[in-house]
Amino acid sequence: MKTRITELFGIEHPIVQGGMHCVGLAPLAAAVSNAGGLGIITALTLPTPEKLSEEIRRCRELTDKPFGVNLTFLPSVKQPDYPGYVRAIIEGGVKAVETAGNNPEKVLPVLHEAGVKIIHKCTSIRHALKAERIGCDAISVDGFECGGHPGEDDVPNFILLPRAAQELKVPFIASGGMADGRSLVAALALGAEGINMGTRFLATREAPVHQNVKDAIVRASELDTRLVMRPLRNTERVLTNAAVERMLQKEREFGSSIQFKDIADEVAGVYPRVMYDGEMDAGAWSCGMVAGLIDDIPSVADLIERIMSEADSIIQRRLAAIVG
């Protein structure tokens, strides 16, 4: 399957593994790339640029295919060493970067000069147009269904993707609700040139997380995610658990006066406890509504092969028969 995304990043299949904190490490990224997609290492999961350099080298030992690095720009009192991370990306020979969070404009010139292609995550058309204007090579359009931060507009992909197709000149991929061949064909029909998967890749054998996390996703239905931090306008879609329900109760009680410190116990520093130690009630962790479509834990290679086979069958048989 050839699209502008496969050509832009030199990959076989239009499937991208999104950046995920504590998950986007070399074993998963390499597995996705080896299977023909674009694997992504999550930079800020590594505590220093030097550790990112080590992870890039580790990934190179596991694959000779293209892979990328996610670099998320977050507002914080103590900023990460972003120039150091950018140097590690360039010196590591990485040619694809997924940016997210705040405006990545400051890092675009040096990355482009090194031949790096940038795909920026956006949850609205206005932000996607801004990313296109500042020179991003592609956009990841994240609908309301997505795990993590869906923005504040609450627009699902059945509307957001056709709007992106109307407005954007650069290629874009669909993120949120993507899990199988049906997702891929639907995204292509709505104007995207590929898909981005996070939650679906979490529930694979190569995902470097505790088995409890994978089992929780398989058990979950499409009704088991919650939106937290809405009063702070930092909305995040997470899988429900005891900590999440406690957090939502606090949000109801505090109302508009709530501050981050009021919910810090449920969100600050919980990811390693959940992802690595399997403490499923330790706090809030990102998960998409697509959990309702996930009922197994395959290898990455089997998953991607299944997606492409199902997509081909839908296009060549079902849709061809309808129009024939």
Report the relative pairing of strands 236-239 and 225-228 from DSSP bridges: antiparallel
Please state the rounded mean pLDDT for residues 131-152.
Answer: 97
241 and 271 share a domain? yes
pLDDT tens, residue by residue, 187-198 = 999 999 999 999
C-alpha to C-alpha distance for 192 and 165, rounded to whole angstroms: 7
166 and 257 share a domain? no
Query: Who's near 112: CB < 8 A, 6+ residues apart?
Result: 118, 135
User: Is residue 142 domain-resident?
Assistant: yes
C-alpha to C-alpha distance for 280 and 256, rounded to whole angstroms: 28
124 and 269 share a domain? no
104 and 251 share a domain? no
Please determine, for residue 229, whether its predicted confidence score (pLDDT) is greater than 90.
Answer: yes
User: Is residue 309 domain-resident?
Assistant: no
Inter-helix orientation angle 26-34/49-62, to 10°: 40
C-alpha to C-alpha distance for 217 and 289, rounded to whole angstroms: 10
193 and 230 share a domain? no
The reported pLDDT for the residue numbered 120 is 98
89 and 157 share a domain? yes
User: Is residue 185 domain-resident?
Assistant: yes
Domain count, the chain: 2
253 and 149 share a domain? no
The reported pLDDT for the residue numbered 76 is 76
C-alpha to C-alpha distance for 6 and 9, rounded to whole angstroms: 6
Total-model pTM: 0.96
161 and 137 share a domain? yes
279 and 142 share a domain? no
Residue of 37 and 75 predicted with greater confidence? 37
CA dihedral 185, 240, 206, 120 (to 10 degrees): 50
183 and 236 share a domain? no
Query: Domain range holding 239?
Result: 221-286
147 and 8 share a domain? yes
The reported pLDDT for the residue numbered 192 is 98
C-alpha to C-alpha distance for 132 and 151, rounded to whole angstroms: 18
pLDDT tens, residue by residue, 71-99 = 999 877 689 999 999 999 999 999 999 99
User: Is residue 130 domain-resident?
Assistant: yes
Angle at 301 between CA 39 and CA 86, to 5 degrees: 10
Please determine, for residue 29, whether its predicted confidence score (pLDDT) is greater than 80.
Answer: yes
Domain boundary among 178, 207, 236: 207
Three-state DSSP at 155 gives: coil
User: Is residue 213 domain-resident?
Assistant: no
201 within 8 A of 29, measured Cβ to Cβ: no
User: Is residue 99 domain-resident?
Assistant: yes
- Find tokens 């706090």 and name the residue: 283
158 and 227 share a domain? no
User: Is residue 291 domain-resident?
Assistant: no
Query: Who's near 248: CB < 8 A, 6+ residues apart?
Result: 226, 228
